[in-house]
Chain A
Amino acid sequence: SSELTQDPAVSVALGQTVRITCQGDSLRSYSASWYRQKPGQAPVLVIYGSNNRPSGIPHRFSGSTSGDTASLTITGAQAEDEADYYCKSRDSSGNHLVFGGGTKLTVL
């Protein structure tokens, strides 16, 4: 079982704001990164750390962490944001990495 817990599915109306969360005790010590994966494609980094976006990732993607929960927020969701989203961090030992189970985002 994953040490990072994500909701399996979330939906959002086009243009509205959605928050995808990732919960785990290790997030109190280690930072999270977020990956978007569209069907048949490799994952792409969208957010890492407190709120860092790689070049090419739209400003509507933002990140935050509070206590044992990391969040990915999409402000003004677009149809092309429909995808699976995975959080990643380190486990409690700090030596190993772990992914959350993933959240399937549907844009209505």
Chain B
Amino acid sequence: QLQLQESGPGLVKPSETLSLTCSVSGDSISSGAYYWGWIRQPPGKGLEWIGNIYNSGTTYCNPSLKSRATMSVDTSKNQFSLRLSSVTAADTAVYYCARSFFYSDSSGYGDRFDPWGQGILVTVSS
């Protein structure tokens, strides 16, 4: 059974770079028609998509992050990573990683995140 686990510092100073890693176990990160996503949730608020990274290295990020987010995949370690630069208090959130599948049916085509990691709280504070 595929499992994902986020890791990284729980406290980051304003203006610095947040770095998180998602470790994948139970399957190879480069197998199958999967891609990988990052999602965050500020305390008491809803979910916000950060970005997706495909095994080809292609990435798509939420335009609202204004190019502060970069993602990468390390197939040798079965991990993928997120870096978010110039953080502010508004970036304080629980950060989740998830596997994404593409699908297509009578309702159109889309993506589904399954499974998710347990999440990691990152606080931006001096």
Give me the interface of A with B, judged by CB distance under 8 Å: 2, 27, 29-33, 35, 37, 42-45, 48-50, 52, 54, 65, 70, 86, 88-90, 95-102
As a 0/1 sequence over residues 83 to 126 of chain B, the CB contacts with chain A under 8 angstroms (1 = contact) are 00000000000001000000111111111111111110000000
Give me the interface of B with A, judged by CB distance under 8 Å: 37, 39, 46-49, 52, 60-63, 96, 103-119
**A43–B119 alpha-carbon span in the complex (Å):** 10
In contact, B114 and A99 (Cβ under 8 angstroms): no
Q: Which residues of A contact B118 (CB under 8 A)?
A: 42
Contact of B114 among A2, A45, A89 (CB under 8 A): A45
Contact of A48 among B37, B39, B103 (CB under 8 A): B103
Contacts A49-B105, A96-B63, A101-B46 given; indicate if A42 touches B110 (C-beta within 8 A): no
**A95–B48 alpha-carbon span in the complex (Å):** 15
Closest-CB distance, B3 to chain A (whole angstroms)? 11
In contact, A95 and B49 (Cβ under 8 angstroms): no
Contacts A33-B110, A35-B113, A42-B116 given; indicate if A97 touches B52 (C-beta within 8 A): yes
In contact, A99 and B107 (Cβ under 8 angstroms): no
Q: Which residues of B contact A29 (CB under 8 A)?
A: 108
Q: Which residues of A contact B60 (CB under 8 A)?
A: 95-96
